[in-house]
């Protein structure tokens, strides 16, 4: 009931620790993503990930993002992030600064041999050179988590704005009845 009370009183503040717990659970069964962590500073979401590329080989990725656009209603739950600066990719002492774009072969046969965890993540992520779009409706467990916390109110929840402040994500929701 605490979350509902916060929603009815105005904005919802989500600490980065809570987001990191959700991300940890999200990648729990992944054999590709070893770590996924965010830190939030004024206007920026800093994402770090450790991707397992093979036996004993990991790739560390760091990217700074800001919120570009948001659509969050009963039908669509999308957030588009602007990539701020190059993506930093570290592999065994080599640091690569690059723009990042990922395309998933639509034919499942073309994905044979690709890490399943990465293929699954790309079902809800669209990664272009200067933006990353997250489709929350496709994230496993996300709708169930919201349904558990909000119940029937989930059908009426819309988010008008999201702010990034020090270690916090501030959600400006509204209820459309």
Tell me: the pLDDT tens digits for 106-130? Answer: 666 666 666 666 666 667 778 888 9
For residue 61, give its domain range: 2-106+114-169
Q: What is the pLDDT of residues 69-86, one digit of tens each?
A: 999 887 888 999 999 999
Residue 134 lies in a domain: yes
Between the CA of residue 68 and those of 7, 64, 65, 163, what are the distances in Å?
23, 13, 9, 11
Residue 131 lies in a domain: yes
Closest CA to 81 of 38, 30, 111: 38
Highest mean pLDDT: which of 21-30, 58-67, 138-147? Answer: 58-67
Q: Helix, strand, or coil here: 170?
A: strand
Domain count of the chain?
Answer: 1
Residue 126 lies in a domain: yes
Residue 177 lies in a domain: no
Highest mean pLDDT: which of 98-107, 144-153, 158-167? Answer: 158-167
Residue 4 pLDDT greater than 50, yes or no? no
CA distance 90 to 68: 26
pTM: 0.75
CA distance 60 to 5: 39
Residue 99 lies in a domain: yes
CA distance 167 to 38: 9
Residue 5 pLDDT greater than 60, yes or no? no
Where residue 1 falls among pLDDT bands split at 50, 70, 90? very low
CA distance 30 to 153: 31
Residue 174 lies in a domain: no
Residue 48 lies in a domain: yes
Residue 121 lies in a domain: yes
The percent of residues in the chain predicted with pLDDT above 90, rounded, is 28
Stretch 8-18: mean pLDDT: 79
User: β-strands 87-91, 57-72: how paired?
Assistant: antiparallel
């Amino acid at each position: 009931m605490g979350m509902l009370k916060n929603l009815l009183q105005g904005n919802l503040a989500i600490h980065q620790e809570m987001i990191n717990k959700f991300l940890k659970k999200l990648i729990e069964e992944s054999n590709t993503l070893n770590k996924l962590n965010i830190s939030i500073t004024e206007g920026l979401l800093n994402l770090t990930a450790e991707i397992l590329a093979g036996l004993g080989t990991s790739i560390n990725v760091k990217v700074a993002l800001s919120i570009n656009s948001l659509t969050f209603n009963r039908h669509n739950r999308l957030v588009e992030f602007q990539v701020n600066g190059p993506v930093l990719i570290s592999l065994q002492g080599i640091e690569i600064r690059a723009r990042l774009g990922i395309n998933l072969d639509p034919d499942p046969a073309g994905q044979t041999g690709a890490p399943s965890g990465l293929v699954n993540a790309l079902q809800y992520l669209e990664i272009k050179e200067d933006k990353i779009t997250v489709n929350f409706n496709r994230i496993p467990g996300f709708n169930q988590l919201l349904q558990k916390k909000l119940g029937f109110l989930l059908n009426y929840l819309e988010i008008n704005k999201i702010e990034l402040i020090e270690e916090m994500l501030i959600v400006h929701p509204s209820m459309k009845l």
